[in-house]
Amino acid sequence: MALHPRAASVPAGTPTKITQGSGTRGGIGESTLRPDGTLKVTGEFAYSSDMWHEDMLWGHTLRSTVAHAEIRSIDIGEAVATPGVYAVLTYDDLPAEMKNYGLEIQDTPVLAHGKVRHHGEPVALVAADHPETARRAAAKIKIDYAGLPVITDEASATAPDAVLVHEGRTDHHAGHVPHPNIVHRQPIIRGDADAAAERADVIVTGDYVFGMQDQAFLGPESGLALPSEDGGVELYVATQWLHSDLRQIAPVLGLPEDKVRMTLSGVGGAFGGREDLSMQIHACLLALRTGKPVKMVYNRFESFFGHVHRHPAKLHYEHGATRDGKLTHMKCRIVLDGGAYASASPAVVGNASSLAVGPYAVEDVDIEAIALYSNNPPCGAMRGFGAVQACFAYEAQMDKLAAALDMDPVELRQLNAMEQGTLLPTGQPVDSPAPVAELLRRVKARPLPPEQQWLAAGAEGDSVDVRALPGGLSNTTHGEGVVRGVGYAVGLKNVGFSEGFDDYSTARVRMEVINGEPVATVHTAMAEVGQGGVTVHAQIARTELGVNQVTIHPADTQVGSAGSTSASRQTYVTGGAVKNSCEAVREQVLEIGRRRFGSYHPAWATAELLLEGGKVVTDGGEVLASLADVLEDETVDVELEWRHRPTEPFDLRTGQGNGHVQYSFAAHRAVVEVDTELGLVKVIELACAQDVGKALNPLSVVGQIQGGTTQGLGVAVMEEIIVDPKTAKVRNPSFTDYLIPTILDTPAIPVDVLELADDHAPYGLRGIGEAPTLSSTPAVLAAIRNATGLELNRTPVRPEHITGT
Amino acid sequence: MDFLRPASWEEALAAKAEHPTAVPIAGGTDVMVEINFDHRRPGHLMDLNRIGELSEWQVGPDTVRLGASVPYSAVMKHLRAELPGLALASHTVASPQIRNRGGVGGNLGTASPAGDAHPALLAAGAEVEAASVRGTRMIPIDDFYTGVKRNALAPDELIRAVHIKKADGPQQYSKVGTRNAMVIAVCAFGLALHPGTRTVRTGIGSAAPTPVRAKEAEAFLGAALEEGGFWESGKIITPSVAKQFAQLAAGACNPIDDVRGTAAYRRHAVGIMARRTLGWTWEQYRGAGRTLEGAA
Amino acid sequence: MRVNFTVNGRKQEADDVWEGESLLYVLRERMGLPGSKNACEQGECGSCTVRLDGVPVCSCLVAAGQAEGREVVTVEGLADYARHRDDAHPGTGCAAGACGTSLDAAQRWQARPADGRSAEAAELSPVQQAFIDAGAVQCGFCTPGLLVAADELLEAQPSPSDEDIREALSGNLCRCTGYEKILDAVRLAAARQEEAVR
């Protein structure tokens, strides 16, 4: 085997040390293109609703039409007798002892038993040869409901004679909540807020309302279940966490986990809405009962009932400050409405409470956050997870405080901004860079967009381009009543699962030689939901293994859990696992190399060895061998779990504890034009500055930040699930009346990315997906307040809030 | 469900007479939503797409005879000069994809108070050409809307065309929605100046059980313009007149609270739009109007 | 009922179609063309956008029977459609309406059956390639509808302004990207097409 001379000559005395991955193209830090991009643009990428199988049946769910009622009887006779129907299932058909599921508390019935607790709760299932047959059969199922009192808010939930949404709770929160209709309560007490308040020159309070937002992912809930010959089942589904699903599905089917074989099919977005099960168990039940493949696809109407929403919230806040602008204390009470089933409510409470102060340094705090059980639609994970609601409130407060102190709102924030070393209200220090003041400085420093852009267009001096005005082509104004506003906000989000949760991921990495080329295969169970994890895994493998050819194996349950694609954690934790497994592979490859070629060159024993460009090289750049020669027919195959540093629970009385893994910061500036007479808002720019630690893929990073920013814009001006306050029924379960931003509603979204490394994280990276959903909403609200002078304590803002009519 | 595909207008009429409950479908932008969401299962679905003449229009001396299935995109592209209010209204419909399929005939057939075309038709003046095997009749637009999603058609009738008065003066149309595309009107307002007859006509959408005109407002304005000699002088309309007009327009509403907006807001918004559209059309009449980009 | 129509240049037939099915359902569930998507089935998202006789429409709102005898182009046929357009009508597109295919062009133009392997070898249309290059694809569920709409925009308006692009794509929802990179992609495709024509 020939030895290659050193490639480049260098001036004497200049160090030429290279580091692992620095010489390989397509590694971390580059904007490499998605590996699934071609399939997605040719329409050949298989999403869960694209699944198809010879002989398959269609499954359909019959859901309750009322929010809270006893089920007196269910008559499925006519439905069963319908030609083309293969099965009709109710609670009585559940095959095992386990009848419920749930992320933390297994309080959710697979099919309703004896009562329904929310509008749209699943009651029966039908499998038939055509979706229309299934629908018509379902319509023949007769259910006799006897209405029960409906719980719709804190007052009705905690009244002394309140009906209990869940009788006989045995979960681990039941013991410490003041009422059984409260899922979880987390107080955080630090210092003495009342005493500190005495020092304040100014105190501002506010009552804020955050509406129920929906994830509105475009790919409908869907999947295909195939019964296996061994009595098990194969399931192809779009989800956020295969293994969490598996853990809940198998017991209900009465099967061991290894007989439920799950493969991730293409996911059309998630944003928290796929953390809970939707049709997984239902499709499996029908497939096992009928012995045939069963496909289930929710239409958009059903989708609004088929997944949890973001917790609507009522927040009461008090801030105090001395005349110089320094915060003295903060008190708040946050009431989240969790709806009929617990889902992720306890964790959302933990987030909302621990992040309730925001990115500010305050020593004396008194915080309380609770989540209610009610008969409203169940709520759970949505991007931002409790921190969004808190940010809306504390940023409104900061503007109120600035006005009361006659201070610039950005300066007030910068004066109180968190820094590295600041303690959270839980006592946990922020032990990585916290560039809060700098992020604000950057968005503020941007030149503002030109005024009255609707006049700029056109050759003649007096042309108006309505497309630059609120209302746009709907032609509501030609400039009359339009006032500009500018607003700022900054937010604090945690990254990862908290409060002592054993949050880990698993990565299997294999290296082998195929056709003379070293190829790496990365296999994780990570759910790619659009965020670009598959791209990043390939980049990590290229960087850590010095190879160009990387194959990403489809995600399935044949490899260990990757944890949830949520909490902004995947690049950190599964990326960390991939990096870790690659390092182990690298070590093994080098061992093989030493075994084979150690006697050929002393550097094998003495130098630091790296893998670069398909070769083993020293850190001085000397090539020792090609990977093809090192491996030959051998395969190196490593599957390892990887954990980040552990966290602690929050004390149930004081809220103290090092509960979070990492923190993430973003700031926004919003520029709006408001038609003050009609109350219509056009956001013309929503600029963001965010610290991402290390941008593993800059193109993806910016895309994620722009996407999160837009979801925040949506809940500022148009998105809300409207629930009837008397009946707890959903009034707008469709895209006709649940409005998400179109391209005519979104502004320019310039993004400023900072990379201040967090040394505790792989590559110094920070999780990024959620932070932009926090500060975008309050920035838009602040801008509308700036334009109108109105208090506006509620989001989304509706036209009548602005016009006062 | 049976799927009927008449090849000619006569076949369509015969089929409708034989199956009065057959639901005609042209652009499909209302009917298919109902079918996809299991809100409707007609015994017969009657596709009108094979009947080419329904997608044609003829420009006459006083009116445009607009075939029932002419898509909104064609109205926007080809009839901006003759039917400016309707062209503006067409541009506010949903999305490009919907505008390529949906048309005024379907809007009239559905007769939703939120239908985008109705305020423009009311403001311009129009007649609906309704036909059956029994013959053809012209239904004045003012008599067409009979209730919430109800119209004056007999069960065996189909809409062949709409005869819309060509503009003899400036027209405007404005639609309030909480999003800039694909939005059902919270309320809408159409206004047309008719210097030929020295009248002003209006149309209000989504603020009453049916699309309505603001007749009191029209009468008041007509009289005020006449009295003040505004038509001849072309001078700016007195603010108090504009204000009164707007108040009367708001008063013509009979709105409800629903998920899209409140009754109070709708009344308020209609008043604002009445004032603004009057201003824009009058400026245009005076010759001082600003040219508008972006097709408005 | 039975329906017959042309999809991506190839005659297709579907049998036993329920009369209430949409064109979208027939394409996805009967013709093996799931590229057009079913995000809402109520005409409010554009994910089902196809060209019907050249015109972009929501296929969820076209009854299956209404497609009888007509020509449909889906995302699966977009690359071929673009290639045909460049060959047969370079610089002008099929928009003129009189899209007669010369015998020579017809002999060279074949619809490619949708199978996973050919995707890698297939040459993408400019707008498809631009979406990939500009980072406009995240989950990708909105992508097919956007591609059909954007392709038609660039055919009709080779140099659209940002306002023109926004208006043309106003019927296509995206939940992941915030639309910025989608705008980048359309601008990129327009610029590349301009280069190619020159």
Chain A / chain B CB contacts < 8 angstroms: 125
User: Pick the residue with more confidence: A200 or A456?
Assistant: A200
pLDDT tens for A94-147 read: 999 999 999 999 999 999 999 999 999 999 999 999 999 999 999 999 999 999
What distance in Å separates the CA atoms of residue A42 and residue A26, rounded to the nearest whole number? 23
Specify which residues A609 forms β-bridges with: A618
Mutation to test the A interface, candidates C83, C141, C187, most A Cβ within 10 Å: C141
pLDDT tens for B140-180 read: 999 999 999 999 999 999 999 999 999 999 999 999 999 98
Q: If pLDDT is split at 50, 70 and 90, which confidence band does A18 have?
A: confident
What distance in Å separates the CA atoms of residue A470 and residue B285, rounded to the nearest whole number? 25
Q: Which residues of A touch C128 (CB under 8 A)?
A: 41-42
The answer, yes or no, to whether residue A82 has pLDDT greater than 50, is yes
What stretch of H or E contains C143? Answer: helix C143-156
What distance in Å separates the CA atoms of residue A803 and residue A786, rounded to the nearest whole number? 15
One-character DSSP codes across C59-107: GGGSBGGGGTT-EEE-GGGHHHHHHHHHHHSTTT-GGGS--PPPHHHHH
- Beta pairing class for A615-618 and A609-612: antiparallel
Residues 83-122 of chain A with CB under 8 A from chain B are none
pLDDT tens for A668-690 read: 999 999 999 999 999 999 999 99
Taking the CA atoms of chain A, what radius of gyration do you get in angstroms? 28
What distance in Å separates the CA atoms of residue A337 and residue A348, rounded to the nearest whole number? 11
Q: Cβ separation of B45 and C20 shorter than 8 Å? A: yes
One-letter amino acid for residue C127 of the chain: V
Report the range out of A462-466, A670-674, C120-124 with the highest average pLDDT. Answer: A670-674
Burial class (CB in 10 A: 0-12, 13-18, 19+), C102: exposed
Q: Tokens 């009107």 map to which residue?
A: B185
Mean pLDDT to the nearest integer, C68-80: 97
Q: Cβ separation of C43 and B29 shorter than 8 Å? A: yes
Q: Cβ separation of C138 and A531 shorter than 8 Å? A: yes
Subunits with 3+ Cβ pairs within 8 Å of B are A, C
Q: Tokens 């099965």 map to which residue?
A: A87
Q: Cβ separation of B92 and A464 shorter than 8 Å? A: no
Specify which residues A488 forms β-bridges with: A669
Q: Tokens 């490593």 map to which residue?
A: A638
pTM, two decimals, is 0.96
What distance in Å separates the CA atoms of residue A204 and residue A321, rounded to the nearest whole number? 9
Task: Quote the DSSP letter at residue A121.
Answer: -
Specify which residues A512 forms β-bridges with: A519
Specify which residues C52 forms β-bridges with: C55, C72
The answer, yes or no, to whether residue A40 has pLDDT greater than 80, is yes
CB A544 within 8 A of CB A583: yes
For residue A437 the two structure tokens come to: 């003041």
What distance in Å separates the CA atoms of residue A404 and residue A91, rounded to the nearest whole number? 58
Q: If pLDDT is split at 50, 70 and 90, which confidence band does B289 have?
A: low
Mutation to test the C interface, candidates A743, A753, A776, most C Cβ within 10 Å: A743
Chain B / chain C CB contacts < 8 angstroms: 88
Q: Cβ separation of B5 and C18 shorter than 8 Å? A: no
What distance in Å separates the CA atoms of residue A764 and residue A759, rounded to the nearest whole number? 5
CB A638 within 8 A of CB A648: no
A479/B contact by beta carbon, under 8 A? no
What distance in Å separates the CA atoms of residue A330 and residue B21, rounded to the nearest whole number? 66
Q: If pLDDT is split at 50, 70 and 90, which confidence band does C119 have?
A: very low
Q: If pLDDT is split at 50, 70 and 90, which confidence band does A463 have?
A: confident
Q: What are the distances in angstroms from CA B122 to CA A735, B62, B202?
A: 29, 16, 6
Burial class (CB in 10 A: 0-12, 13-18, 19+), B137: middle
CB C44 within 8 A of CB A736: yes
Q: What are phi and psi of C61, to 5 degrees?
A: -105, 5
Nearest CB to A301: which of B37, B176, B295?
Answer: B37
Is residue B64 classed as helix, strand or coil in its secondary structure?
A: strand
pLDDT of A459: 44
Taking the CA atoms of chain C, what radius of gyration do you get in angstroms? 16
Burial class (CB in 10 A: 0-12, 13-18, 19+), B19: middle
pLDDT tens for A346-373 read: 999 999 999 999 999 999 999 999 999 9
What distance in Å separates the CA atoms of residue A177 and residue B189, rounded to the nearest whole number? 54
Closest CA to A521 of A554, A559, A553: A553
Burial class (CB in 10 A: 0-12, 13-18, 19+), A223: buried
- Beta pairing class for B57-59 and B44-47: unpaired
Closest CA to B44 of B12, B7, B3: B3
pLDDT of C93: 55
What is the distance in angstroms between the Cα of C12 and the nearest Cα belonging to chain B? Answer: 19
C62/B contact by beta carbon, under 8 A? yes
pLDDT tens for A545-584 read: 999 999 999 999 999 999 999 999 999 999 999 999 999 9
CB B67 within 8 A of CB B56: yes
Q: Cβ separation of A268 and C167 shorter than 8 Å? A: no
Subunits with 3+ Cβ pairs within 8 Å of C are A, B
What distance in Å separates the CA atoms of residue B279 and residue B272, rounded to the nearest whole number? 11
CB B267 within 8 A of CB B255: yes
Task: Quote the DSSP letter at residue C30.
Answer: I
Q: Cβ separation of B177 and A474 shorter than 8 Å? A: yes
Q: Chain A residue with minimal CA distance to B274?
A: A476
Mean pLDDT to the nearest integer, A277-293: 98
pLDDT of A4: 37
pLDDT of C86: 81
CB C61 within 8 A of CB B34: no
What's the sign of the alpha-carbon dihedral A93, A96, A102, A108? positive
Specify which residues A464 forms β-bridges with: B292
Distance, C-alpha A142 to centroid of its chain: 39
pLDDT of A731: 98
pLDDT tens for B15-70 read: 999 999 999 999 999 999 999 999 999 999 999 999 999 999 999 999 999 999 99
What distance in Å separates the CA atoms of residue A486 and residue A786, rounded to the nearest whole number? 6
CB A620 within 8 A of CB A631: no
What distance in Å separates the CA atoms of residue A72 and residue A114, rounded to the nearest whole number? 7
Mean pLDDT to the nearest integer, A68-79: 98
The beta strand positions in A56-105, using DSSP E, are 57-63, 69-75, 85-89, 100-101
pLDDT of C28: 98
Q: If pLDDT is split at 50, 70 and 90, which confidence band does C165 have?
A: very high
Closest CA to B142 of B217, B213, B62, B66: B213
CB B175 within 8 A of CB B188: yes
What distance in Å separates the CA atoms of residue A734 and residue B33, rounded to the nearest whole number? 11
The answer, yes or no, to whether residue C113 has pLDDT greater than 60, is no
Q: Chain C residue with minimal CA distance to B100?
A: C57
Q: Cβ separation of C39 and A219 shorter than 8 Å? A: yes
Q: Cβ separation of C35 and A42 shorter than 8 Å? A: yes
Q: Cβ separation of C68 and B5 shorter than 8 Å? A: yes
For residue C182 the two structure tokens come to: 């989608």
Residue A429 has a CB neighbour count (10 Å cut-off) of 11
CB A46 within 8 A of CB A569: no
One-letter amino acid for residue B221 of the chain: L
CB B119 within 8 A of CB B189: yes
The answer, yes or no, to whether residue C43 has pLDDT greater than 60, is yes
CB B85 within 8 A of CB B118: no
Burial A186-196 (b: 16+ CB within 10 A, else e): bbbbbeebeeb
Distance, C-alpha A25 to centroid of its chain: 30
Q: Cβ separation of B182 and C60 shorter than 8 Å? A: no
Q: Chain C residue with minimal CA distance to B91?
A: C167
